[in-house]
């Protein structure tokens, strides 16, 4: 298991696959599967049976996970960057490899 460089709350761009070029906010990261759910990207339709929460049933749209390798972090300026780790004092921080700024 490796240290993931993308956290929930980050803004990312999809760099591969059907949704290449799309941008969105990371809602959830699954460390064990190396996948992330990005808001408004990779939306799938799920057919649901009627239940207590949803008595009508029907078709629900929800975001499906995307592999971390297909995501690239966006900086505040809107450009994609790779992420590195470095020690700042006694704290480990993420930094942009393009601009060398702490994220």
SS3 17: coil
- Phi, psi (degrees; rounded to nearest 5) at 77: -85, -5
Indicate the pTM of the whole model: 0.83
Q: Is the pLDDT of residue 1 over 60?
A: no
pLDDT tens-digit profile of 33-82? 999 999 999 999 999 999 998 899 899 999 999 999 999 999 888 899 99
Q: Is the pLDDT of residue 2 over 90?
A: no
Provide DSSP, 58-83: EEEEEEPPEEGGGEEEE-TTS-EE-E
């Amino acid at each position: 298991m490796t240290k993931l460089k993308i956290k929930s709350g980050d803004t990312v761009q999809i760099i591969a696959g059907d949704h290449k070029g799309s941008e969105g906010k990371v809602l959830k990261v699954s460390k064990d599967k190396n996948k992330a759910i990005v808001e408004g990207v990779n939306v799938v339709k799920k057919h649901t049976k009627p239940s207590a929460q949803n008595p009508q049933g029907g078709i629900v749209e929800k975001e499906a996970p995307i592999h971390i390798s297909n995501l690239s972090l966006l900086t505040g300026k809107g450009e994609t960057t790779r992420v590195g780790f470095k020690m700042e004092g006694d704290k480990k921080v993420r930094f942009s490899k393009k601009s060398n700024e702490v994220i």
